[in-house]
Amino acid sequence: EIDCVVCNAGVLLNDKKLTSEGNEVTMASHLIGGSYLLTKLLMPQLEAAASSGKDPKVIYVTSGGMLLTNMPSWDVATNTAADQAYDGVQTYSYAKRGQVLLAEQLAKQKNGITFLAAHPGWADTPAVDDAFGSSKKLFEPLRTPWAGAEGISWLMNAPKRKLENGAFYLDRATQSKHIAGPFMTEGTFTKNAQSEIDAFMSKLKEACGI
């Protein structure tokens, strides 16, 4: 049995790199392998925990960067579109939006497992240094790594009755998944139609060979 899985691995690259399978590294680490495939491989153990009366959770550590975009077509998101210039920050945003959609869709299974997306806030970590260098001052004040991890640690231990399955969290509270409208209302720019989400989930499965 497994009680909780936290999918936090990933990178933000300024230059395009591919995995040995041919996938762009940011999408592969955050989403394709690091979230979707890992969850699917561990599903039997998570379901076993649910069957024994426990409260299993899967938490996808996303980012406020996902608020900048919806999920584009698969070829754009994975940087396989013809003549597409590589933008590491944009690719990161796509991957993070993908994690939010993944939590939403898996939560619909109603199999006793709670699926959540969680934003740690902008924390002063080596990964931020590598990705942004001196430009990280644009995100100040940055949190300490512990401050970023605290809300996620709380989600790991919070009872199921206090959580909203499929929701997006920051600092122990649910947050809007869209703020692209006037005065930070939801708007429509960052939303996807269900048909687009279904196509996204199908492509994730295909990319993992399952």
Active-site residues, by number, are 92
> Do residues 122 and 142 touch, judged by C-beta distance below 8 A?
yes
Residue 138, Ramachandran bin (φ over 0: left; ψ between -120 and 50: alpha; else beta): alpha
Rounded alpha-carbon distances, angstroms, from residue 85 to 7, 15, 80, 142: 28, 10, 10, 30
Alpha-carbon distance of 35 to 66, in angstroms, equals 15
Alpha-carbon distance of 10 to 12, in angstroms, equals 7
Map residue 16 onto helix, strand or coil.
coil
Which tokens go with 141? Answer: 């004040």
Which tokens go with 194? Answer: 């269900």
